[in-house]
Structure 1
């Protein structure tokens, strides 16, 4: 089975978010895909198969813990491989939940069209704030579709300096996939910064995540009164993307770098 590791949301090797990409020739069981994702040990691994429709591919995502409905950086990684291998410049990915993701490329830039989801008011447990090292938050919201809690703080430098206690964080809440902490950018060219912690469903921190833009882009568009914004994920690896809100769609534009290609020879 052809396999790849691709660094997404970056132009530089060993930056951004590494994703595994696998191209199985036959249908794999969920248990096998989970084992392969655990073997890679990355935040997500994508499994991509051709369909009977030209330019349409089925895609599924697995963290080392469970299947993930939608993943931005693994989608970008899979698209990078396909655009590198073939002359096509437009493809569709069909997720396991039948979400149609339209992907296009122009030169080295890849644009992904994702759905937009709403948030609702929420509250963060004091134990969660303590585990994150946050003295206070400006606003709290919840994305029911993603099961992610959003915490807005005032300082992007404090955001970059966060060193969560992940054992305490895991115990501070139940029924969520992760917590996203975000802040307005203090310097150009970025409009907002964010980090995503998800010990409930994946690894401790997702280095650069695009899937959260399904609700984060609308959140910041409302506050900043802008439809086109530059987002920066201030994890240790860092990464960035342009986000453009278009009614019920959000366009994510960025780059990716193929780091490794090979063949997986031992799997069920």
Structure 2
């Protein structure tokens, strides 16, 4: 399989989140795709496994650890790669979580998530997450209560009140992996800081292969948009900006448009990597 490599949610190949992209994986088995993703070593690699239409493709996503139902940054990377071959315009991705509509123009892609949902964390889950990150309940922003937010993948979400605590927390990657697997969470554990009413910074724990903290997480950004709408923390339509990746030396920028109803729209650039 020919693997393309892109950095998503950035205009700089040294920033954003690297993604592998395979534009023709028709006939590949899950084991083969997992092996390719492990060899690539990025957080996720996206595989186009079918072409049911001119601008409609069927997608699967794999981390070096397992198949992932949906991956936002690899979706953006794949859309930009497809536009490089077919021209800018609209695409539809058939994914394991449902149909994702996309628009691509000048190296930027916007995807509309599936309908988001928000649920309570159990007391045990919250204690487990706080302990993992060396936090206590008083570190949480009282205006942004902890939840599980989903817009393709479920993301446990903690919003902190203090920038120093946000910058300073650490976690054991092996323990984070046990927390993810033990709760059946296929994607990242999100910790965020609300810097301004419509500006957030996020850190996403995701230990897979050589990765421990994800530099830019499109599905978590969509989940955050759904969370903000569900809890009445923004007045839709609203545009939220999410900064991510500073803590791992790959800064990225995600634009999140929150409509009054329906899926959340996440936009970002993608640029090819040399290796």
| Alignment TM-score, normalising by the size of structure 2 | 0.84
Q: Establish whether residue 104 from structure 1 lines up as the match of residue 112 from structure 2.
A: no
Report if aligned partners of 2:59, 2:94 keep a CA contact under 8 Å in 1: yes
Instruction: Report the number of matched residues.
Output: 258
- Residue 52 (1) aligns with residue 58 (2): no
Whether the 8 Å contact between 1:242 and 1:254 is mirrored in structure 2 is yes
Cα distance in 2 for residues equivalent to 1:53 and 1:172: 39
1:214 aligns with 2:215: no
Alignment CA distance shift 1:51-1:13 (3 Å): same
Q: Are the aligned partners of 2:24 and 2:50 in contact in 1 as well (CA < 8 Å)?
A: no
Tell me which protein shows more helix as a share of its residues. 2
CA contact (8 A) 1:125 1:172 kept: no
Task: Tell me if the contact between 2:28 and 2:49 (Cα under 8 Å) persists in the aligned partners.
Answer: no
Q: Are the counterparts in 2 of residues 133 and 163 from structure 1 also a CA contact under 8 Å? A: yes
Relative distance call for 1:169 and 1:46 in structure 2 (3 A) is closer
CA 53–256 in structure 1, closer or farther in 2 if over 3 Å, else same: same
Aligned partners of 1:147 and 1:176 also within 8 Å: no
How far apart are residue 158 of structure 1 and its match? 2.9
Distance 1:14 1:81 in 2: 18
Q: 46-55 or 26-35: which moved more?
A: 46-55
Structure 2 alignment gaps of length 5 or more: none
After TM superposition, list the pairs within 5 Å mapping 1:98-177 onto structure 2.
Answer: 99-122=98-121, 123=123, 124-136=125-137, 137-138=140-141, 139-143=145-149, 146-171=153-178, 174-177=182-185
After superposition, the C-alpha distances for 1:173-205 in whole angstroms (9 at most, x for unaligned) are 72142421112015x9x6112111133899422
Offset of residue 252 of structure 1: 1.0
Give distance in 2, aligned partners of 1:68 and 1:80. Answer: 20
Match of 1:93 in 2: 93
Equivalence for 1:228 = 239
Asked if residue 238 in structure 1 is aligned to residue 251 in structure 2, the reply is yes
Is 1:249 the counterpart of 2:260? The answer is no
Instruction: Report the secondary structure of 2:146's partner residue.
Output: strand
Q: Which runs of 5+ in 1 are unaligned?
A: 262-268
